[in-house]
Amino acid sequence: MGRAVMRLTGSQLRCVRGGREIFARLDFTADAGEPLAVVGANGAGKTSLLRLIAGLIAPAGGQVTFAGGDDDLSPAEQAHYLGHRDALKSALSVTENLAFWRAALGGEATDIDTALNAVGLDHIAQLPAAYLSAGQRRRLSIARLLAVKRPIWLLDEPTSSLDANGQAMMADLMRDHLAGGGVIVAATHLPLGIAARELRIGERVS
């Protein structure tokens, strides 16, 4: 394992979607231990930036680099992406959903029960995901971040549809991840619950 301090850098990023330029000449750095909160109006490109880092949108210019991780893997392969869509199959139970992603994502994994316990879903482990509430689905998605270890967390509105307890829990989990030397980039309108550096995008000043 490389013990160098991790740092996720984007330089001169440009994103074009549907023929429209969302942002251009965007630079950012996210250091281990300090979360980067991406803020901006609706449509400013917060989600696009996260998806671009995750390798789900090809950048029209610029590049994303990750230092201090595994050099054989791309930044996307070392990242967790928590998006609007929760990637859960309604027909499978809570445990089956989590077990699938734990196996499919690959890499260093933790015990499923531990992960479910941490997000407060251990009492409904056998329930089909179809019967979960929006907040519970969110918690199950968050459990995925814990079940498989990845240094980069890309969080899109991580606290949406979580109750007060859930938001506190998420803040604790993020704090633990950062304390372990992880990197967090979060797009959010709501307070994250932890101190974060802000990256404001979508303002037409420059």
Partner 1 sequence: MTALIALLRRDIQVALRIGGGALIGVLFFLIVVVLMPFAVGPDLALLKKLGPAILWLGALLASLLTLDRLFAADHDDGSLDLLTMSRTPLELVCLTKAVAHWLVAGLPLIVATPILGLLLNLDGDATMAVALTLLAGTPALTFTGMIGAALAVALRRGGLLLAVLVLPLSIPVLIFGVAASNAAVLEPAGFGAPLSILFALSLAGLVIGPLAAAASLRHGLD
185 phi/psi in degrees, rounded to 5: -120, 120
- Determine the Cα–Cα distance for residues 78 and 68; give it in Å rounded to an integer: 11
Q: Is 103 in the site for partner 1 (CB under 8 A)?
A: yes
Give me the least distance between CB of 141 and partner 1, in Å please: 9
Q: State which of positions 50-79 bind partner 1 (CB under 8 A).
A: 51, 54-58, 73, 76-77, 79
Half-sphere exposure of 61 (CA within 13 A, CB side): 11
Q: Residue 104 CB, nearest distance to partner 1 (Å)?
A: 5
- In the bound complex, what is the minimum distance in angstroms from residue 64's beta carbon to partner 1? 13
Instruction: Compare residues 89 and 189 and give the one whose CB is closer to partner 1.
Output: 89
Between CA 11 and CA 74 the distance in angstroms is 16
- Residue 20 in the binding site for partner 1 (CB under 8 A): no
Q: What is the maximal distance between C-alpha atoms in the chain? A: 53
CB atoms within 10 A of CB 37: 20
Residues that bind partner 1 (CB under 8 A): 17, 51, 54-58, 73, 76-77, 79, 81, 83-92, 96, 99-101, 103-107
